[in-house]
Structure formats: C-alpha cells, structure tokens
Structure 1
Amino acid sequence: MKRRTWKATALLAGVSCLLTVGVLPLRAGTTAGQENEEDGVTVPQGHKEAYEAAKEQMKEAPKEEHKSGAWYMAGFMGIAWPQSDSGQMVNNATGLASPLGINGNQSFIGGLQGGYYWHDPDKWGNLSFSADAIGAYLGANMNLATPAGISGSALNLGLLGLGGTIGYRIAKSFEPYVGFYGGGVIGNGAINGVNMGNVWGYWFSPAVGLRYFIPNSHWFVAMQGLFLFVNDVNGFDRIAGTTINTTSGSGYLYVPAAVMSVGYAF
C-alpha cells in the first residue's frame, strides 16, 4: 500500500513539473506579443496607436523661427545750435568777400529714422548693430554778424542720409551705442524777409546715444547726441548784387544737436 502511495505521489510531481515548464514559454510569448519596439523604445501593444499619433504630431509641429534682428521705425525731435564763423557775403560786381558769422541759437530738429537692427546673444554676445536711413528737418532763426551789423535770418535744412550704429546691451534693456551718418542736404535761406533760394550741399555726423528697450514689448526709447558738419550750402543769391555763403574754405556749418526718439521694432 505504501509503495503504491509513493508511486502516485512521484507521478503527480512529475506531471506538475511538466506543466510548469510548458506554461512558462507560453507566458513569455504572450508578453512578447503585447510589446513592440518603436525607435528604440519598448511600447505596449495597446499604446502603439497613441505613440504613433504623438510621433506624427511632433513631426508636424512648426519649429520656432530664430531671428537675429528686426526692422524698426522711429520718430525723433530735439534742439540744435547751428553756427559758423567762416561764412561770406560776396559782392558779385567786385568779387570782394566780407566775413559772415552765423549763430542759430536754439533751433528745432526732427524727423524719421528706420532700418534693420541686429541683436543675437548666441552669435554676438552683448553686441548689437543697425543699418539706418534718416530724414530730418532743421529750422533755424539765426543772427547774422556782418560788417554792417547784425541782421535776422532764417535757414531751413532738409537732410537725407544713411548710417549705422554699434551698441552694447546691458541688463537686457539698456544699450549705449555709437554711430555715424551722412548724406545730402537742401537748404533754403532768407534775410530780413527776402527769400534767397535753394542750394544743395552735404553733411555727416558722429552720434552717441542710449537706447532703452521696454520689457515684453516691441517699443523702445532713445536719447541721442549728434554733431553735424554741413558744407557747401553756398550760393544764396537773390539779394541784388550779393551772394551769401554759409561756409568758405575748409569751414563748416556746425550743428550740435540733442534728440529724443521713440521707436517700434516689427
């Protein structure tokens, strides 16, 4: 009886081992069938469709365009002080020239400026650059000092030019800069109410200033100092027998100016 019981126990143990060994591969196969490898990532079979949809969305998502600069436009106005000590009043009949001094006192200057501004910390660190076009108007009521005494006059200048600046950004919002501009000028003059006609010349100017970029906006404000050198604004000749030259020789009409500007970057 005991021998039969032992044999039965041994038989049951053997059958149990065989069943266990057979089931393990089946479970492994089932698990493998429920998982797929996608792009090096093991993804459960039930999540495969969601994974594919997410991958397509990533492909279709537009990449943010990285810009190193922007177009801008600014308006400015301020005060200028035109003056010259090398002017002449020339007698057309004799060719003799009398000295002419010009003092513009406080004059108005204003205009528009636009161009392209570059600032990319990844490429240039704190440096910035701009390429600019400028149009300005200068209106001056001046005193003319002549050998005959002092008389009143008016001088209107229209300036067009190109230029550029180099700046250094500080604390993300402040930017001191230096620059240079130059171009052509048309002048209209009058003495004691008599219009003296129009003449053409040229001008150039160094510049120094400070920009402030308003946080979280496209706006900026700036203070700028200019020192214009205006030349060849000569040949005013509608006074009978006399030609007026604002400069002579190597002299210039000097125009220091201080302006404030408000601008918008697109």
Structure 2
Amino acid sequence: MWFVILLVYMLKASSAVEPSCQVCSKFDYERLLERVIRNELTLKDTLDKITKTNAKVEETLKRIETENAKLNLAMQGLEEKKRTIDDKIDALVDTGAKNMSEAVAEMKTAVQSLVKQTAQEWDVMKENSSVPHVMFHARQTTTGQRSYTTNQDVVFPTVLINDGGWYSPITGHFTASVAGVYMFMVQFCPYLHKWAYLEIVHAGRALQSSGHKGEDVIVCVSMQAFAKVAIGDEVWVRISATSEIYHDDTRSTSYAGLLISL
C-alpha cells in the first residue's frame, strides 16, 4: 500500500511542478500507474521470497546449533568414557602387575622350599643307602711266562688298591667284610700258542670261566662276574686246566673287585 501512497504523492508533485501537458492524456497516467502496481507486486513477491528464505536459513542455523550442541555433549560423553576406560585400564594394569609380582614371589618361595626339601631328602637317602667303599685291584709281579696246574689258585702279589684291606696278596683270596652285590674282573694273557683256562670262584663254586689260546703275538683277554656275597665269603681266581700265562708291565695279568650295591 505504501507504493500506492508514494505514487499518488509523485503524481501530485508532478502536477505541481510540471506545467500541464496538452499532449499527455489520462490513458498515459493509467499506464504508468499500472506499471507501478506491477512493480509493487513483483517487489512484494521478491520480498516474500527473501523473507521465507531468511526464515529457512534461520531455521537451518538453529538446527545446526542444536546438532552442534548435541555433538558437543556426545564428545563430552566420549571423553568421559575414555577417561573412565583409561582409569580402569590403569587400575587393571597395576593390579595385574601386583598380582604377577606376588605370584612370582610365591613361586620363587615354593621352588626354594622344594629345592631345600629335595636336598634334605637326598641327604637322608644318601645316609640310609650309602654304599661302603670296598674295592681292590692286584696283579702279577714277575715278568715272563708261568705254568699252572689244574685247580691251582692264582695269586696276585702286587696290590694296587685294597680299600678295607680284605684282599690277601698271600693267598689271592678276597674276603667280604660287607654283604652286597660285587663285580669281579680278571685279565690274563695266554702265552704264545698255549692255552690258559681261568675261573672266578665264589665259596668254592665257579662264577665265570674262560679259556683262550695264544697266537703269534701275546694278546690279553678278560672276563667279569657278578655275585651276591655274604659277610665272610671268599672269592678268588683258580686254574681250571693246565695253563701257560704271560705277564709284563704292558700285558698285565690282574684281578679286581668292587662292591656296587648293598
């Protein structure tokens, strides 16, 4: 409406300023008024569109502000949750490290206790099952070849070891001072192209026998026997048939025994 008022005002001003025109007609003024009205309508439509657009922009800005506020709240919530999770993780790590340290300490204590207990049990076992040191080793003395007859005892006069003193270099017999399982060993060297027959005897009974014939060179052989021997039992070496035996420092005829178990 203010456009109409403006138009009337302009018409009055024009009438007051300009002299009356003989050529201008009423039709010209109507056309001018019509054009002004059309411009007013166009301007009003444009203004309405601008107003609506402005309203939409304001509404969009409000929604953006609202979403931004929600996003800020969500970010704050996430930060709070992150701090809570970090605190829980730190607490779990501290607790786990503490528990692990305690577990390692307990394990170390248990291992030390087990080692100590095992050592004590081992000491007891050694005390209860200790095998006395009974051992002897003797050999021939004279270098050269020697003849033996059947059932002749072989004496080994040179004593190398005689723990307990129960081997006799005079008789060649070993007398057991401790009951148990013994191992006995004899090494002998048959003379060139001659036979040698020896046996290990326990309480008059042969434990092991061996016979060998010498060749072009003198070669030594050995035999072993195991026996459960009682206290006072004797074990010795005996010739089971006529024999020819050789001895020197490098080819030794010898006799040995060892207590291996009670």
More helix by share: 2
Which has more radius of gyration? 2
Higher relative contact order (CA 8 A, sep 6+): 2
TM-score (norm 2): 0.30
> Please, what TM-score do these two structures have when normalized by structure 1?
0.29
